[in-house]
Chain A
Amino acid sequence: MSITYLEAIREAQARALAEDPRVFIYGQDVGDFGGAFKATKNLSKEFPGRVIDAPISEDAIIGAAIGAALEGMRPIIEMQFADFSTVGFNQIVNQAATHFWRTRVPCPITVRLPSGGTAGSGPFHSQSMEAIYATYPGLIVMTPATVEDVYSMLLEAVAIDDPVIFCEHKYLYYHLKAEKLPTEALPVGKARIARPGRDLTIVAYSAMVHEALACAEELVSEGTEVEVVDLRSIKPLDTDTVLASVARTGRLLAVGEAWPWGGVTAEVVARVASEGFGLLDAPPKRFNSKETPIPFHPNLWGTHRPTANSIAAAVRELLRY
């Protein structure tokens, strides 16, 4: 038996609905249709009245989730694509993120954002929004890279008292498989060494973990051993694990699929530069997508985002320093 990343999302939601009567799912086409990606397949039948179709109203969907959470519910919201969360942005960053700090009443909503690029998806169905949300105090931002993490972290997101932005990567939905669902997991806020190595640390998250791992594999033939750190959540961000890795390798390349300006990779570089300056044998670097909207055509898209090949080129350059 094997289970995909997407099926793990569905299974986590099924378990949350089964175990916690406070949980309900709200979003566009999530009901009998089962969601645009089928992440809620059959859930409306298994849990009648608790998996509800919403009108195309991202602001009102998030607002309603907030109101329900304040009344003691644990809503899971599916934004059909992360890109459309911009229309619900106000409710997320001004209402949900500020609520506990202002009133002492927590706002436990989980907002699932089908994130990141896939071939042919273009500028409005491919975005990586994690850094924008991470800048707002009060939000937790999860970026699971594995089948095991997407399952355990989604359950943890529902259990957490704070609003959680859950960035699940669409590129991993069908590609990524595991033998079985996990029975234990690292807590949120803990990064993971996805591959040990001695020469250089790549810090990545979400789909880029897999590009980094493929890059590391490619570089073995050149005698280079790359260590890959999977951040798992970008807020909280496990700086200690990153610094410990850089202490071993002396070199940092932070890789993200999002745009470079002021993002997660910039944050990782800033932390390593300020807290681990003495550990570095070379300038800490970042590697991101190109700074344009995300192109539609696969030829352009394949170059716009970091890939194993382009990351390897960046690694080679950093090793030459």
Chain B
Amino acid sequence: MAQGAVQTIKENGQEAVRDKYLRAYRWMLLARIAEEKYANLYRGGKIFGGVFISKGQEALSAAVGVSLRKGDVFAPLIRDQAGRFAFGESVLDATRTYLGSSLGPMRGRDGNVHRGNPGEGYLAMISHLGAMISVVNGALMAKRFKGITDAVGATCLGDGGTSTGAFHEAMNLAAVEKLPLVMVVANNQYAYSTPNSRQFACRDLVDRAAGYGVAGHSVDGTDLEKCLRVVGNAVDRARRGGGPQLIVATLLRLCGHGEHDDAGYVDPGLKASKIGLDCMNIAEECILKNQWATAEELAAWRTSALLQIDEAVAITQREPAPDPSKEDWCALASRHLIDTYLTE
């Protein structure tokens, strides 16, 4: 890694900083290991559909997750395994959804990253990019109607998603309504295979904040300490009534769009540059340099995460797959209307 990239962290409340950092790091580690396992299962033909991993984006995602609290709303996107865990998703729920267990939260009806627990404020993304932002807006409007004034809503998107009309409409609406929305953009340089040069022409995506009349923040997405500070501040500002916050993190996706994609289109120059650094390495070096944990402790945490994932996979693989004969094949909540609803 780049010389001198990691500084010893010395500031007030150092213990709190350390604790939050280590908590976030352990979610990053759990996400990295879980996703490596899911990728292996995919390659072994055990997972239908696709596997979309977060490699290189765990620090940013974990920073979002640990900055939120119960009662907040979180709409993650495809590279947010660390944030999902930090917001309260269990390893078992994630594993069950990937493996299509009938006991998982989506029961085989939806898979991989399309999962959530909306009753707990953890929204289940649809595939259409930018579509979750306005849903978070609406949840925040509802909280305001109910007199809840200390909740925030966070959602994540990539550079490509900022080109959608949905992103524009939702950012503008959040600004008009002065909602406590934290919009986290992971500028990972590629939308599937399309580089930024074919995606947008503004100097920096964070410049768009001014156009919407919202606060804008830039952050180095490879550095957990910076992500925690910038995301944490933005969440605090939103919570205190500062209105919508747009965060743009610069980083590089260190994997394909999904596990089916070898990412051969990624510019080697970017990989060799500072944004191509692996956030896991930076975090581990920071932990060791600050003596927040020993190399042995890091190794023990890794082993513990591996065990946790292996146990979840073992449990899930013994669970029943969805049974079409037990599926009711009706999308309606109003059960009293089913007789006349379904087409024979």
Task: Tell me the A residues contacting B by CB distance below 8 Å.
Answer: 24, 50, 54-55, 57-73, 75, 90-91, 94-95, 97-103, 105-106, 108, 137-138, 140, 160-162, 188-190, 235-240, 267, 271, 274-275
**In angstroms, how far is the closest chain A Cβ from the Cβ of B330?**
8
How far apart are the CA atoms of A238 and B165 in the complex, in Å?
Answer: 38
Is the CB of B306 closer than 8 A to any CB of chain A? no
How far apart are the CA atoms of A57 and B140 in the complex, in Å?
Answer: 17
Within 8 A of A (CB), among B32-53: none
- Minimum-distance CB pairs A-B, first 7: A67-B138, A63-B134, A71-B142, A64-B138, A236-B340, A60-B169, A57-B169
Are the C-beta atoms of B118 and A70 separated by less than 8 Å?
A: yes
The interface residues of chain A lying within 8 Å CB-to-CB of B265 are none
Selected from A54, A70, A188, A190, the residue in CB contact (under 8 A) with B135 is A70
How far apart are the CA atoms of A106 and B118 in the complex, in Å?
Answer: 10
Interface string of B292-307 (1 = CB under 8 A from A): 0000000000000000
The interface residues of chain A lying within 8 Å CB-to-CB of B119 are 105
The interface residues of chain A lying within 8 Å CB-to-CB of B126 are 94-95, 98
Within 8 A of A (CB), among B99-137: 105-106, 109-110, 114, 116-119, 123-124, 126-128, 131-137
List 30 A–B pairs whose Cβ atoms lie within 8 Å, in order of A's numbering. A54-B173, A55-B172, A57-B169, A59-B166, A60-B133, A60-B170, A60-B172, A61-B134, A64-B135, A66-B134, A66-B135, A66-B138, A67-B73, A67-B123, A68-B145, A70-B138, A71-B146, A72-B146, A73-B141, A73-B142, A94-B126, A94-B131, A98-B331, A102-B110, A105-B119, A137-B332, A162-B337, A190-B340, A237-B340, A239-B344
How far apart are the CA atoms of A238 and B142 in the complex, in Å?
Answer: 35
Is the CB of B226 closer than 8 A to any CB of chain A? no
Closest to A90 in B: B128
The interface residues of chain B lying within 8 Å CB-to-CB of A97 are 331
Are the C-beta atoms of A235 and B341 separated by less than 8 Å?
A: yes
Interface string of B305-337 (1 = CB under 8 A from A): 000000000000000000000000011111001
Selected from A50, A68, A100, A235, the residue in CB contact (under 8 A) with B333 is A100
Selected from A60, A103, A140, A160, the residue in CB contact (under 8 A) with B173 is A60
Are the C-beta atoms of B176 and A55 separated by less than 8 Å?
A: yes
Known contacts A54-B173, A71-B142, A98-B126; A64/B131 CB under 8 A: no
Are the C-beta atoms of A65 and B138 separated by less than 8 Å?
A: yes
Are the C-beta atoms of A55 and B116 separated by less than 8 Å?
A: no
Are the C-beta atoms of B173 and A137 separated by less than 8 Å?
A: no
**In angstroms, how far is the closest chain B Cβ from the Cβ of A276?**
12
Is the CB of B255 closer than 8 A to any CB of chain A? no
How far apart are the CA atoms of A116 and B127 in the complex, in Å?
Answer: 32
How far apart are the CA atoms of A65 and B134 in the complex, in Å?
Answer: 9
Selected from B123, B128, B172, the residue in CB contact (under 8 A) with A70 is B123
The interface residues of chain A lying within 8 Å CB-to-CB of B165 are 59
Are the C-beta atoms of B170 and A63 separated by less than 8 Å?
A: yes
Known contacts A68-B141, A101-B109, A162-B333; A189/B172 CB under 8 A: no
**In angstroms, how far is the closest chain A Cβ from the Cβ of B145?**
6
The interface residues of chain B lying within 8 Å CB-to-CB of A64 are 134-135, 137-138, 141, 173
How far apart are the CA atoms of A97 and B330 in the complex, in Å?
Answer: 12
Are the C-beta atoms of B169 and A55 separated by less than 8 Å?
A: yes
Selected from B106, B110, B134, B344, the residue in CB contact (under 8 A) with A67 is B134
Is the CB of B143 closer than 8 A to any CB of chain A? yes
Extra A-B contacts (13), CB below 8 Å, given A63-B131, A70-B138, A162-B332: A55-B173, A57-B172, A63-B133, A64-B134, A67-B123, A73-B141, A94-B126, A94-B128, A94-B131, A103-B124, A138-B331, A189-B341, A274-B344
Known contacts A54-B173, A60-B172, A236-B337; A67/B141 CB under 8 A: yes
Is the CB of B139 closer than 8 A to any CB of chain A? yes
- Interface Cβ pair total, 8 Å cutoff: 161
**In angstroms, how far is the closest chain A Cβ from the Cβ of B161?**
13
Known contacts A55-B173, A95-B135, A102-B114; A162/B142 CB under 8 A: no
**In angstroms, how far is the closest chain A Cβ from the Cβ of B90?**
16
How far apart are the CA atoms of A69 and B73 in the complex, in Å?
Answer: 14
Within 8 A of A (CB), among B60-90: 73
Closest to A107 in B: B333
**In angstroms, how far is the closest chain B Cβ from the Cβ of A251?**
22
Q: Which of B146, B165, B337 has the most CB of A within 10 A?
A: B337
Closest to B106 in A: A102
**In angstroms, how far is the closest chain B Cβ from the Cβ of A14?**
18
**In angstroms, how far is the closest chain B Cβ from the Cβ of A69?**
7
Are the C-beta atoms of A189 and B134 separated by less than 8 Å?
A: no
The interface residues of chain B lying within 8 Å CB-to-CB of A67 are 73, 123, 134-142
Are the C-beta atoms of B137 and A63 separated by less than 8 Å?
A: yes
Selected from B135, B145, B330, the residue in CB contact (under 8 A) with A73 is B145
**In angstroms, how far is the closest chain B Cβ from the Cβ of A91?**
6
The interface residues of chain B lying within 8 Å CB-to-CB of A137 are 330-332
Closest to B172 in A: A55
The interface residues of chain A lying within 8 Å CB-to-CB of B134 are 57, 59-64, 66-67, 91
Known contacts A55-B169, A95-B131, A98-B126; A140/B337 CB under 8 A: yes
